[in-house]
Chains A and B, each alone.
Chain A
């Protein structure tokens, strides 16, 4: 029984370690030797799997959505009538897919007029949210805040094409800031991110992070 429990706890980690190490060995190999060719072929094969692996998960996801919404409607929790809208929309979209999948004519209509409306509008309202964030976040409290504000102002002036005529040469300053101090600070963060990535992989393999799950 304990062996079964051990397998149950660790089988995913074993798979993770095997695939990771295999791909890490295969990645830098040139295809000039037979071994290199074999490994590279397997690398390409494996690399193409990730989308397919995640594809079935959507069924569970839709199941959870349906379950949550039906429960809300049955229990009549707060604002339950909106959940009926959700369920109706789900039924319409799933039904529309029976005519030619997601590229079919009915789904194309739905995605053009319904989903595209929501997605573009969501990005659009961020313009408004950004303006209010600017209004509230930039305060000349100390040197750091002042630097943050001034560099932001210069870039804002560069992004609005009219400023080039009001303040000639602003684009040179902006591009210099983007190319030099901005890039340098980003590179400094890159170093940490690159190292952090490797450390995270090591921790996942040791099973200490349980992919982070406790």
Chain B
């Protein structure tokens, strides 16, 4: 479906905050979420860096991408973001200088942050209205910041017993919370929780969609999707694959999670 529906769909305007979160859903910007989130301050620095790189890059992508040959876009975007990072560094350094020691090269690497580059290079913002690009920049930065703060909020107290520099009382301390593997595992759990919530949302949305079947809005939606009918047929044709396999799966490995979650959701 075209990106016009994306914009019309109010839900997808504010994409990137939770739905389509750049880190949890798309797996972009993992290095920063994993390594550089040892403290809330570093998370804040990275979030600010993300914001002030995403805004100019998305604006450039929306305004003058069509004047740049495709293969040069990456160069331009990376240079723009790197240029945007330099004044910010001066500003932030005056606020909390100690953070940049813990960040090391990762602040400079924000110039190549995939969470900025990939959406900018895709059709998400290329050639769209600058307002939409700006909105996207804000949403993506917000989503990025949410994840970073979420991970840092666990790692800083557990690792160093402080929150935003202030010491807090927690029962146990675990120095390895500062290590990379702990960040990976935390990120994995965050992403798992994200996927779970996503599925819940989808099930609820389905139920609502059933009610809205013959309202104007849903009809407009259906017109926008030309091949929904053929999809239905395809699915019907494929059911014969499912049946036996499902039965076998139930019998062979006693995993009946499908039914479990589904029933629970649909009863709600």
Q: Do A and B come from one complex?
A: no
Taking Cβ atoms with an 8 Å cutoff, the residues of B that contact A are: none
Taking Cβ atoms with an 8 Å cutoff, the residues of A that contact B are: none
